Homo-oligomer: A and B are copies of this chain.
Amino acid sequence: MARIGIYGATGYTGFELIKLLVRRPEIEIAFATARSAVGKRLSDIFPTLIDLPLVGVEQADLHNVDLIFTCLPHNTPDLIPLVQAAMDAGVKVIDFSDTFRLEDLDTYARWRTKDHPAPELQSVAVYGLPELHRERIRKAHLVANTGCYPLTAILPLRPLAQAGLLTDSPVIVDSKSGVSGAGRSLSLKTHFGEAHETFSAYTIGRTHRHLPEMEQETGLHIIFSPHLLPVYRGILSTIYVNTKPAVSEDDVRGAYAVYANEPFVTLLPQGRLPELRHVVGSMNIAIGVHRVEEGHYILVACVDNLIKGASGQAVQSMNLMLGMEETAGLR
């Protein structure tokens, strides 16, 4: 039996996390906080079989809690104190923000244009991608859950980079994400009339704050163009890579053998490309590989941004951190 606390239960990732946890008898949700809904119950917001009281941060009792998830909006001022308090109390932490994802403090400072707010916490944080850092996650006390966009670039690119198949020219990652990636906070960009039945690019090139994660985990130089899709869930990334001379399609496909035993990574057979509907609602990341011509390949990767791209990924890390079956509750 594990006791879990959730900070930020009424955002999209918090709610998805609860849906994944309530079906597991071995998990008890010790508390769920929601700043704007203190005193209400989850059923007041979403009237289903899932129900929980919602409390304020100050009412969250860490006593006897094994692990907390912090699913708070970027730049929540009390994030660092919350994480520090949990760590001090011996409670493990999985944080959904991008605060603890960059190992190099200089990279952090350059991209965020400010110093890291908690270097000592950063020094013990592990990047929460089990396919790459499984053993470190098992032992971690603080895991930085991956960004949803980065996941769709890192998992397809890392094996090719590791195998030394790519040239030095920039890799192009053209990503398209459903609107839930922008969260439940109100903004004109995510207002129905502005996001529906349209399509747009934003923070393209080398301006998106999650680009450095991609580069950290792949060692590649990346040009990244996110786009906003008029769907609720899912990310599809179309990735353009240049391979070194004499690299064959077998070399490229062969590099993905590293994922042969991964429960949630599916390499599609030659000639097939993944679509959002193949993965939405599941933990799968599906990857298709297309040879364009000598030296040029296209990779297409799809995930459900709220599951493998966020809350499911966090549960996978939690399972590792608490010594449970890695895939428990995720099939």
Contact = CB atoms under 8 A, between A and B. Distances in A.
Interface string A197-227: 1111110111000000000000000010101
A230 B230 contact: yes
Nearest to A183: B193
Nearest to A242: B169
Contact of A275 (B199, B223, B236): B199
A180 B276 CA distance: 17
A49 B273 CA distance: 15
Nearest to A240: B172
A296 to B, nearest CB: 6
B236 A204 contact: no
A277 B230 CA distance: 12
Best-buried of A174, A272, A284 by chain B (most CB within 10 Å): A174
A231 interface: yes
A256 to B, nearest CB: 15
A308 to B, nearest CB: 13
A293 interface: yes
Copies of this chain in its oligomeric complex? 4
A236 to B, nearest CB: 5
A274 B200 CA distance: 7
B186 A236 contact: no
A331 B204 CA distance: 31
Given A186-B187, A268-B47, A296-B170, A199 B274 contact: no
A276 B187 contact: no
A87 interface: no
Interface string A174-204: 1010011000101110111111111111101
Contact of A191 (B49, B191, B282, B290): B191
Contacts of A231: 196-199, 230
A286 interface: yes
Nearest to A295: B170
A229 interface: yes
Contact of A238 (B12, B174, B236, B292): B174
Contacts of A180: 193
28 contacts: A12-B193, A48-B284, A49-B284, A169-B169, A172-B172, A172-B240, A174-B174, A174-B238, A176-B176, A179-B192, A179-B193, A180-B193, A190-B191, A190-B193, A191-B191, A193-B232, A194-B277, A196-B230, A197-B231, A198-B280, A200-B274, A201-B273, A204-B290, A204-B298, A205-B293, A205-B298, A206-B292, A230-B231
Given A174-B174, A190-B193, A201-B236, 9 more contacts: A179-B196, A194-B277, A196-B231, A198-B275, A201-B238, A202-B273, A223-B298, A230-B230, A230-B231
